[in-house]
A and B are shown apart, each in its own frame.
Chain A
Amino acid sequence: EVQLVESGGGLVQPGGSLRLSCAASGFTVSGNYMSWVRQAPGKGLELVSVIYSGATTYFADSVKGRFTISRDISKNTLSLQMNSLRGEDTAVYFCARGSGYPGPKGYYYYMDVWGKGTTVTVSS
């Protein structure tokens, strides 16, 4: 069964760090577009970071320079290292797999498998 399970969320003080993990089963993270999407309390979805199959990465402006994304092929996991955390980073963080197809402008991706999410609370 294709599945994603996030872990690592919790309560952290402003300025602190946290590392989220996403364990994949039924497919390999190394060969896929993998992403982190977050949802602040009562708000909509925000794409936080992406790592493409070729290791190219993307970060939203709101987290650039503070967050890093990586894959551990041996453990088949995706990670998000979050540093210098702020109150506005408080959210449920979802891990999602992307599937892509060729289009006129390049490769188009949509998220076809989602984890249940892990909650990050940044507060003193």
Chain B
Amino acid sequence: QSVLTQPPSVSGAPGQRVTISCTGSSSNIGAGYDVHWYQQLPGTAPKLLMYGNSNRPSGVPDRFSGSKSGTSASLAITGLQAEDEADYYCQSYDSSLSGGVFGGGTKLTVL
């Protein structure tokens, strides 16, 4: 069981908007630690998608956005495209564990 909880799967049609939640607790997100997001395409290594809750690395389309509130964070994808079909992971720091933690991952299916 992951310290950060994500829905196992989400889906949407091309062009639609989907959101992926990442729920933590008072020892990680709720304590003020930032959330980062990674995209893992099938059979490849993870790739940084968002850092510091809402900052996109260069090259990441502005269709991707992130936010954080309280003990949760969210990744939103607008204008869904077939190439967005992948697994998405949130990551933060947990003070109880004294280390970084990942969410369990969310599989995005583009219908």
Listed in ascending order, the chain A residues whose CB lies under 8 Å from chain B are: 35, 37, 44-47, 50, 58, 60-61, 94, 96, 99, 101, 103-105, 108-112, 114-117
Q: Please report the C-alpha to C-alpha distance between residue A18 and residue B66 in the assembled complex, in whole angstroms.
A: 39
Instruction: Provide the residues of chain B in CB contact with A103, threshold 8 Å.
Output: 32-34
Q: Please report the C-alpha to C-alpha distance between residue A35 and residue B101 in the assembled complex, in whole angstroms.
A: 12
Return the contact of A47 from the options B87, B99, B105 (Cβ within 8 A). B99
B5 to chain A, nearest CB (A): 11
Interface size on B, as a range, is 20 to 34
B24 to chain A, nearest CB (A): 14
A114 near B98 (CB under 8 angstroms)?
no
A44 near B102 (CB under 8 angstroms)?
yes
A104 to chain B, nearest CB (A): 5
Q: Does B64 contact A (CB under 8 A)?
A: no
Instruction: Provide the residues of chain A in CB contact with B46, threshold 8 Å.
Output: 37, 45, 94, 96, 111, 114
Main secondary structure of the interface of A (DSSP, over half): strand
A109 near B100 (CB under 8 angstroms)?
yes
Chain A residue at minimal CB-CB distance from B48: A112
B105 near A45 (CB under 8 angstroms)?
yes
Instruction: Provide the residues of chain B in CB contact with A117, threshold 8 Å.
Output: 45
Q: Please report the C-alpha to C-alpha distance between residue A117 and residue B95 in the assembled complex, in whole angstroms.
A: 28
A114 near B102 (CB under 8 angstroms)?
no
**Could you write out 25 A-B pairs with CB less than 8 Å apart?**
A44-B89, A44-B103, A45-B38, A45-B40, A45-B105, A46-B102, A47-B102, A58-B100, A96-B46, A99-B51, A101-B52, A103-B33, A104-B32, A108-B34, A108-B52, A109-B93, A109-B100, A110-B36, A110-B52, A112-B51, A112-B57, A114-B45, A114-B46, A114-B47, A115-B45
